[in-house]
Amino acid sequence: MVSGFRAASALVTIVVWLLVPRHATPSDIECLKSIQSSLEDPNNYLASWIFDNSSQRSICKFTGIECWHEDDNKVLNIRLSDMGLKGEFPLGIAGCTSMTGLDLSSNSIRGNIPHNISSIIRFITILDLSSNQFSGEIPVDISNCSFLNVLKLENNQLTGQIPPRIGLLDRIKTFSVAKNQLTGPIPQFVNASFPAESYDGNAGLCGKPLSRCSGGSVKSHASAIVGGAVGGVTVAALGCAIGLFLYMRRMSRRKKEDDPLGNKWATSIKGAKRIKASTLCLLSQNYTLLSMFEKSVSKMNLNDLMKATNDFSNENIIWSGRTGTVYKAVLEDGTSLMVKRLQDTQHSENEFAAEMATLGNIKHRNLVPLLGFCLTKNERLLVYKHIPNGSLHDMLHPVNEGARVMDWPLRLKIGIKAAKGFAYLHHSCNPRIIHRNVSSQCILLDADYEPRISDFGLPRLMNPIDTHLSTFVNGEFGDLGYVAPEYARTLMATPKGDVYSFGVVLLELVTGEKATHVGRAPESFRGSLVDWTSELSASSRLHYAIDESLAGKGFDNELFQFLKIACSCVLPTNPKERPTMFEVYQLLRAVGQRYDFTTEDDILVPTDAGDADQLVELIVARDDVQKKV
């Protein structure tokens, strides 16, 4: 049983109160008092539960009580197995609000399992009520204990059917209802299957892995055939799409082999004199920048841009990503710009110009401002202000040993202000935008190490096959570690997908590890940063995830709060359980309140123009849209 608690679910810590005081909260004390008073204890196992002034600092020493940390007094697990306890389920246990494991097995507890069990043990991951005298039906509400990894109800007197909704518990790893008086069909679990031993001793149960249920079998068989056919078509369609994408990638690589310097395309447009009235199309009147935060940029033509980038030579490449290649451009007056060459755009010139007009009107201090764009032949070039300190990824994971070490206040500031930028895209900008490519690579750092989000609005301009399927088959840039799990099923971009990806960025900030490679994990570990965090969470060792260079320097409370927010973004497999980007920003802002990173004027107010959760693609800029901007 101890090992069961040590192997708790990956969701142990996503929503529990990680930042706890050094003394027990009144709710935890009242919780334990209620348990002690509601259960008969003939063997005096609970005699050590003495409640006086000193108990506020000693509840972790109570028999059967485990706390989050040896120095904390917040209840993590309650293990009261085989103590001869009698009575009914202790409803006062709801006061232990951070509890994730409850073991009341091998006692003489009777009565019904509470019908509202999910509101009593809200964040439970391990529930063991086996070998008691519980009667009545298994409450349907138990299916709302969405973090459950272990559910053991065997050897009781439970009757009725197993609620079909229990099969929706997508994190369940251990399940047993053996030796009860249950009847009816066995539900099918979405992510697991259990042996016959889990259901033995219930003469009325039927269905896999036991014998088939009488009646309805033909219908079930037909449903299986239909489901298989639909699934086969879906897989076939996805396979064709992936095959097409791989073919396109192969053709792209052949082009690279034919053009080893990578700038043959630039040579082909060199000398072109007309780029929308022979000038670079700047996106504001008088050819100045859009924002008061930037300096003015003069009118320029394509030849100026070619000269500034050394004919777009490979030596001027800053980085390459899914949406294109970025070049550094230095003008004659010393002004530095970034020029992005887009890949595989699918819009006509008019459509592209409309998109650019919309993106050019999106202004926020935590976004990389779009200064202008260029249309010539088949090329699409975007011009941005140069952001001098590179990407957050390169700052967090430097190649050179002498690189700057990021302290906690800087990481916290970057997390807060990046969240603010993404929240603006989701909630306040018009049209609202899903980024779709959130990673530590797309967050750039300016001269003051203020985060600036790049590439917003660009996926809509790309080949849809590339922007969707490259998520899975193109691992060149490490994006796979940022992809929300539901994307594999839906191939649909959503705000909650961005939230998941940003949660991975937050994990990078607090752990110092890469999204797809965890240096501190065991050599045999082959998972992602999210997987590693989940495993630590499951074994109540989440504090080991924190970057060792940050721990023990007076920031521990903030680190745990920050980690809690990151986990709330990435650990729920149901997107609806994740916070919105606005909520993430507000939570992070509260963590950094003492640093005055933001002012009251900086508080974002979400617009009331619809529900951001319903947004599933970047709204296309068309003439009718521009009239609204």
- Cβ-contact 108, 42 below 8 angstroms: no
Identify whether the C-beta of residue 190 lies closer than 8 Å to the C-beta of residue 171. Answer: no
Residues facing 161 on adjacent strands = 183
Could you read off the pLDDT of 483-537 as tens digits, one per residue? 888 876 776 788 999 999 999 999 999 999 999 889 998 888 878 999 999 988 8
Separation between Cα atoms, residue 30 and residue 96, nearest integer Å: 8
Extract the residue ranges of the chain whose pLDDT is less than 50.
1-23, 216-230, 233-234, 237, 241, 255-261, 265-297, 463-478, 601-603, 605-629
**Packing angle between helix 556-570 and helix 495-511, nearest 10 degrees?**
150
Q: Which three-class secondary structure state does DSSP give residue 134?
A: strand
CA-based angle 418:419:421, to the nearest 5? 65
Nearest to 379 by CA among 457, 473, 269: 269
pTM (predicted TM-score): 0.55
- pLDDT tens by residue, 33-81: 999 999 999 999 998 888 876 555 578 888 998 886 655 677 888 999 9
pLDDT digits (tens, 9 = 90+) for 603-618: 454 444 344 444 433 2
pLDDT in the model for residue 453: 94
Tokens 């639909």, residue located: 230
Do the bridges between strand 379-385 and strand 370-376 make them parallel or antiparallel, or are there none, so unpaired? Answer: antiparallel
Which CATH code of 2.40.50.200, 3.30.200.20, 3.40.50.10440, 3.30.70.890 fits the domain covering 259-386? 3.30.200.20
Cβ pair 497, 471 in contact under 8 A: no
Say which residues have a Cβ less than 8 Å from residue 55's Cβ, sequence separation at least 6: 24, 29
Distance CA 47, CA 49 (A): 5
How is 84-96 classified by DSSP, letter by letter? --EEE--GGGGG-
Which residues have C-beta within 8 Å of that of residue 582, sequence separation ≥ 6? 423, 426, 427, 604, 606, 612
Q: Which CATH superfamily is domain 392-629 in?
A: Transferase(Phosphotransferase) domain 1 (1.10.510.10)
Closest CA to 508 of 610, 378, 393: 393
Rounded to the nearest 5°, which phi and psi values hold at 378? -100, 10
Tokens of 258: 């034919």
User: 2-214 belongs to which homologous superfamily?
Assistant: Ribonuclease Inhibitor (3.80.10.10)
- Rounded distance, CA 457 to CA 241, Å? 23
- For 242, 253, 254, the CA distances from 247, given in Å and listed in that order, are 9, 10, 11
What's residue 147's pLDDT?
A: 81
Of 470, 476, 512, which Cα lies nearest the Cα of 493?
470
Backbone angles phi, psi at 302, to 5 degrees: -60, -40
Instruction: Reduce the DSSP state of residue 384 to 3 states and report it.
Output: strand
Per-domain boundaries in the chain: 2-214, 259-386, 392-629
- 535-564 in b/e burial notation, b at 16+ Cβ within 10 A? bbbbebebbebbbeebeeeebeebbbbbbb
Write out the DSSP string of 22-75. SS--HHHHHHHHHHHHHEE-TT-GGGG---SGGGGGTGGGSTTEEESSTT---E
